[in-house]
Amino acid sequence: MDKNYRLTSEEYARLLGISTEALRSRRRRGKYKNYIQDDNGNYWWENDRPYQDNTIFNDRPQRVRNGL
């Protein structure tokens, strides 16, 4: 398994919001090209969305209120 291809078919289908059967049908029709097949016949999918960290940065300056 390549380090870029780390999602199983079940995980990738859940990410897309479709069933694993729908993903398999779309793969067979050639709609998706971002997968590899290992020696055991398992499909590994590349995440087409960039990795997003859940950290929230609040770097906006605070508004200074006069008279309070």
- For residues 2 and 36, the answer to whether their CB atoms sit within 8 Å is yes
User: What tokens does 53 get?
Assistant: 């960290």
Distance CA 49, CA 34 (A): 12
Question: What is the pLDDT, as a whole number, of residue 54?
Answer: 64
Question: What is the pLDDT, as a whole number, of residue 20?
Answer: 95
pLDDT band at 1 (very low <50, low <70, confident <90, very high): low
How do the domains of the chain map onto residue ranges?
Answer: 5-46
Summarize pLDDT for 10-65 with one digit per residue, the tens: 999 998 899 999 999 999 999 988 999 999 999 999 887 666 666 666 777 777 77
- Please provide the size of the chain in residues: 68
